Amino acid sequence: MSKMKYICFILLAITFAGCKRTQGDIEITGTAPGVTYGNVIIRDLANNNVFRTDIEAGKFKFKEYLQYSGYYKMLYASKATKGSNREVELYLEPGTYTINIDQDRINDYPRVTSSSQMQTQLSAYYAINDTLVHQVRQKVVAINQQIQKMDDGNIRSSAETDKLSKMQAEELRTNQVDQLSVFTAFMVKFPDNEVAAHLMTHMDYQDDPVAFYRLFTRFSNAAKNSDEGQVLEGKLKELSKLAPGGTAPAIAGTTPDGKEVNIKAMNKKLILLDFWRSTNGTSRDNHEQIISQLLQLTPKGFDVVSVSFDTDKDKWLAAIDRDKMKWTQVSDLKGDDSPNGPSWGIKSIPAYYLVDGQGLIIERVVDFADVPAAVDNYFKHH
């Protein structure tokens, strides 16, 4: 999926938001049992190296003067990371830290004991996340074992084939850790934490802004009033307007022949908005599914509007032609700078919305695989 550049501007604006002018000595004592040689690097959020040290005989240590308290990245490499850097987030302030990197669970957050309350809260969040990740993996392994027993290569009945397909789909759905569940569990355990706004800023809150905004209202005053909290509140308030029943924002751009698109003037019952780009393979593949699965519903009042994030008109038009997209096409040719990104809360593409003929939002559909069922469900009840 292509990441939308407009999000980067938000992140740039808050890059130093978590940095306080609290200076002083910091001492980090670390262990990485079983590591004969590796390294640990501390970087700021602008990706500048701040500290660096080697892991020798399973131990490492920093004793430095910290210019700013705030969020930092810790990168470490050893045999367990298989030639790449493992990156985690820390909140550093003057004081003492003890960090244990478990080579057997290299993808888990390190065990961090600190005099910093902010870091303690951060560690608690990632501990909850890791627990849920392991639970998900266990479920996936169990499902996969059942699939392997069924998928023996023998000819099976249609009922068995259907059951196998459902189990495979369940495996894909299960193999995801729900950010909202992790965050909710964290808020229940630490309702007065100060790191909530920072954590939520880096989540896909665009996918369910109403639920995330509901959680935001439970933040501590410190989290709400932080620089990141204030930016986040504005975004969540705006994105909450995209909840079902809300009025669909205007679509910036024109058709290839220079006409604007008015949803209400299309005189359709249900319209799928397809946000895509000509260089995005997933977008292009899904156009085949739109043609084969959805366009037969046109007599019922169904239609599609594809909104492109292209910048090159020739490439845009060529993709329309190759994909046989014989429905309404719109683009402002501004790419990731298009106002369609922030106004529709789109962090990555492809992205999909269903709107009715009155221009009201019916549903945001995160995964295209769920679009046909959502369309069918709408026509069953309208």
> What are the pLDDT digits (tens) for 315-347?
999 999 999 999 999 999 999 999 999 899 898
Largest interatomic CA distance in the chain: 71
- Is residue 2 pLDDT above 80, yes or no? no
- Domain 19-115 falls in which CATH fold? Immunoglobulin-like (2.60.40)
Higher-scoring residue by pLDDT: 293, 332: 332
Higher-scoring residue by pLDDT: 206, 80: 206
**Cα(324)–Cα(217) distance, integer angstroms:** 46
> What pLDDT, on a 0 to 100 scale, did the predictor assign at position 178?
81
> What pLDDT, on a 0 to 100 scale, did the predictor assign at position 329?
97
Per-residue exposure over 54-68, b if at least 16 CB sit within 10 Å of its own CB, e if not: ebeebebebeeebeb
Domain range annotation of the chain: 19-115, 126-242, 264-381
Work out the number of other CB atoms within 10 angstroms of the CB of residue 346.
Answer: 24
Q: What is the pLDDT of residues 170-206, one digit of tens each?
A: 655 555 668 888 999 999 999 999 999 999 999 988 8
> What pLDDT, on a 0 to 100 scale, did the predictor assign at position 156?
63
Residue 290 DSSP SS3: helix
Residue 8 pLDDT grade (very low, low, confident, very high; cuts 50, 70, 90): very low
Q: What's the one-letter identity of residue 286?
A: N
**Cα(331)–Cα(316) distance, integer angstroms:** 9
| SS percent in the chain: helix, strand, coil, step 5 | 45, 25, 30
**Cα(274)–Cα(346) distance, integer angstroms:** 11
Residues 6+ apart with CB under 8 A from 6: 336, 337, 341, 342
User: If you ran DSSP here, which 8-state letter would residue 312 be given?
Assistant: -
C-beta separation of 294 from 272 below 8 A: yes
Residues 6+ apart with CB under 8 A from 251: 261, 263, 273, 305, 307, 330, 340
The per-residue pLDDT of the chain, averaged, comes to 87
**Cα(268)–Cα(356) distance, integer angstroms:** 7
Per cent of the chain over pLDDT 70 is 86
The most confident of the ranges 36-40, 171-175, 198-202, 240-244 is 198-202
Please state the rounded mean pLDDT for residues 354-372.
93
Residue 212 pLDDT grade (very low, low, confident, very high; cuts 50, 70, 90): very high
pTM: 0.72
Is domain 264-381 in CATH 1.10.10.1110, yes or no? no
Q: What is the pLDDT of residues 250-273, one digit of tens each?
A: 999 999 999 999 999 999 999 999
> What pLDDT, on a 0 to 100 scale, did the predictor assign at position 6?
38
C-alpha dist (Å) from residue 271 to 154, 230, 366, 381: 43, 34, 16, 16
φ, ψ of residue 61 to 5 degrees: the values are -155, 140
Among residues 336, 376, 264, 330, the alpha carbon closest in space to that of 8 is found at: 336
Q: Tokens 């004081």 — which residue?
A: 95
**Cα(344)–Cα(252) distance, integer angstroms:** 11
Higher-scoring residue by pLDDT: 8, 257: 257
CA angle 23–29–35, rounded 5-degree value: 140
DSSP states along 121-182: HHHHHHHHHHHHHHHHHHHHHHHHHHHHHH-SS----HHHHHHHHHHHHHHHHHSS--HHHH
- Is residue 158 pLDDT above 80, yes or no? no
Residue 90 pLDDT grade (very low, low, confident, very high; cuts 50, 70, 90): very high
C-beta separation of 58 from 52 below 8 A: no
Contacts 24+ apart (CB under 8 A), 289-295: 289/368, 289/372, 291/324, 293/372, 294/371, 294/372, 294/375, 295/327
Q: What's the one-letter identity of residue 232?
A: L
